[in-house]
Amino acid sequence: MVKITEVEWVENAIGRKVPKRIGNEELFPYEGPFAHRPHKDHKYGPKLDYMADQTSEIVSTLSEAIDKVGLKDEMTISFHHHFRNGDMVMNMVLEEIEKKGIKDLVLAPSSTFPCQEETIIRCVKNGTIARIEGGSARGEIGRMVSTGKYLGHPMKIRSHGGRVRAIEAGDIKIDVAFIGAPSSDELGNLNGVNGPSACGTINFAFVDARFADHVIAITDHLVEYPNFPMSISQELVDYVVVVDKIGDPNKIASGELRITNSPTRLKIAKDAVRIADLLGYVKDGMSFQAGAGGISLAFTEFLHQEMKEKGIVARWAQGGTTKFLVDMLKDGSVHKLITGQAFDTVAIESMRNDPKDHVDLPIGAYANIHGKGCTVNKLDIVVLGASEVDVDFNVNTATLSSGLVAEPVGGHSDTAAGSDLCIITIPLFRGRYPVVVDRCTTVVTPGETVDVIVTERGITINPRRTDLLEKLAKVKIPRDLRICTIQELQKMADEITGGRVEPNWGDEIVALIEYRDGTIIDTVRNVLPKYYDDAIFVDRDDINDLERREN
């Protein structure tokens, strides 16, 4: 692992020290949300292939497919996370690779889930995996990263849009993409809407398919040629492997997501709707994104009620889609839905039955800053969570206050930068840990891109948004909506919890937080053992917030 004393440091635009280079790799310090231009002229190009007279790409076993694409030591393999905690593909593939004795691979998934932890950790320990290129790391994998013991190279943590950028730029060169496909035909036309392991969309894998040298599709539902819709088309797929089962449907999507019962969180969600309304954002033709975390679901529900009461219709909504958004589509409160991931069975059904108004998009079209257009830039409102927010409005969504890498960053920094009104909804404290702090343990989303923070004890507007403050000065603020400064919030949090405690950092760099444009916004060091078992989350609501917050 790389010691902090072995690298040369430079201060980036938000005052965080980041390495200038690690090994042979030159790094770019964060310059501002839209400042950094692509550092390469052209997109990375994958291998050309030759399959002129081929009429079927089916191979009988996974092992054979791996042999055929010529997977070797030190190559990079990738996976998508649409099967969420019901995924069987990654474990299946890694086990096969272990058997072949291939070593030192780079694992580059779009995200990981608890069901893969055991296999990944074993593969890291036995040398099959030498490095992880995020995506995100959470749970036990995050803990492993934070020990600094097993991986030879710092993990890069990227947003959804940032991962697409990195692949297109060739920062991540995928040798073999393994794509779990809920349905496929014999030439590898793939989609996520049909089959027993349907997950709605497989568009996180789109960039992998386009830029990997080789693509192996793994399906449990082989259909007659041609398979419609062709979400990922045959021109990108080398081989198709048919197996018994690629996912556990009960864990791929939740049957029924419930709105939190916590009065505090309900208040936060309701107040977020009220402040958006007071600021004039709840209006005809609006667009918004709110995820599937406890507060976000409640936000969507309260927004829906408000819109119905006032007869407001939104143009579109996007994000991890759920029943709550589908309900809005059905009753005409929103014209169109764009799905990044489908979180429940209702969303998956809706994608299957309503392909005209409920669509998915490649993640690059959703959030890639170095693409030629992305939907986040057209968002009016986004509602996001956080593990910490500081007085500069910087947001941490990657580590806990104890410094452990533990949370998925998802599309946080992408949507914050793109949207016009980025609302962070958080409790002021969790257990005895303050959430509004003087300085974030780790920065993922820069304060310049964050506009409003809503807590149960007060709402604050980023002073950079003078336009919002002017708007607010002109409206009557209801008595129970307390508007205050971020410093006041931080003071309140400190008084209740006793303040933030600096993590017990070691002297190794275990992760780099890469901003969506490829620059480095922050560095994460290893955490010394006494903090490993520090339990930060004291109740189910906190855990729910984090578990579901992925998009």
Partner 1 sequence: MRLRRSRLYVPGNNPKMIPPAGLYGADVISLDLEDAVGPEYKIDARMLVSEALKVVDFGPSVEVTVRINPLSTEWGRWDIKQIVCEKLDGIYIPKVETPEDVIQVDELVTELEDKKGLPMGRIKLFATMETAKGILNAHEIARCSGRLEGITIGGEDLTADLGGERSSDGIAIHTARQLIVLAAKAAGIQAIDTVYSDFKDMDGLRKETNMVRIMGYDGKACIHPSQIEVIHEAFNPKPEEIVQAVKVMNAIKVAKERGSGVIALGSKMIDRPIVLKAEKMLSRARAAELYIPTIEEIMQGDNGSDQNGKKGGGDD
Q: Which is nearer to partner 1, 84 or 267 (CB)?
A: 267
Contact 112, 120 (CB under 8 A): yes
Site string for partner 1, 67-106 (x = CB under 8 A): ----------------------------------------
Shortest Å, Cβ 456 to partner 1: 5
Q: Which is nearer to partner 1, 19 or 458 (CB)?
A: 458
Note whether 224 binds partner 1 by CB under 8 A.
no
Chain-centre distance for alpha carbon 516 = 12
Of 53-61, 62-70, 404-412, 476-484, the segment contacting partner 1 by CB under 8 A is 476-484
Hey, what amino acid is at 75? M
Which 8-state DSSP code applies to residue 118?
H
Segments of 69-166 assigned E as strands: 76-78, 105-107, 129-132, 155-157
Q: How far apart are CA 414 and CA 364, in angstroms?
A: 11
Q: Which is nearer to partner 1, 25 or 539 (CB)?
A: 539
Closest CA to 443 of 526, 531, 549, 520: 520
The alpha carbon dihedral of 414, 439, 421, 459 has a sign of positive
How do 176-181 and 76-78 pair as beta strands?
A: parallel
Which tokens is 120 given? 């990944």
User: Using N-to-C axis directions, what is the helix angle for 114-125 and 89-100, rounded to 10°?
Assistant: 10
* Contact positions with partner 1 (CB under 8 A) in 415-474: 456-457
Of 143-151, 178-186, 261-269, 529-537, the segment contacting partner 1 by CB under 8 A is 261-269
* Residue 528 three-state SS: coil
- Which of 6, 51, 539, 543 is the binder for partner 1 (CB under 8 A)? 539
Note whether 479 binds partner 1 by CB under 8 A.
yes
- Which of 24, 37, 244, 263 is the binder for partner 1 (CB under 8 A)? 263
Q: Which is nearer to partner 1, 472 or 521 (CB)?
A: 472
Q: How many helices (H) and strands (E) does the chain have?
A: 16, 30
Q: How far apart are CA 490 and CA 390, in angstroms?
A: 8
Which tokens is 19 given? 């390495």
Shortest Å, Cβ 270 to partner 1: 9
Q: Which is nearer to partner 1, 38 or 499 (CB)?
A: 499
Shortest Å, Cβ 300 to partner 1: 17
Which tokens is 388 given? 């910490």
- Which of 244, 476, 533, 535 is the binder for partner 1 (CB under 8 A)? 476
Task: Count the residues of the shown chain that bind partner 1, applying the rule CB under 8 A.
Answer: 12
Shortest Å, Cβ 543 to partner 1: 15
* Contact positions with partner 1 (CB under 8 A) in 267-326: 267
- Which of 264, 308, 336, 471 is the binder for partner 1 (CB under 8 A)? 264
Hey, what amino acid is at 184? S
Q: Which is nearer to partner 1, 476 or 530 (CB)?
A: 476
Q: How far apart are CA 262 and CA 377, in angstroms?
A: 32
Q: Which is nearer to partner 1, 221 or 482 (CB)?
A: 482
Shortest Å, Cβ 496 to partner 1: 7
Q: Which is nearer to partner 1, 35 or 496 (CB)?
A: 496
Chain-centre distance for alpha carbon 421 = 19
Q: How far apart are CA 161 and CA 144, in angstroms?
A: 25
Binding residues (CB under 8 A) for partner 1: these are 263-264, 266-267, 456-457, 476, 478-480, 496, 539
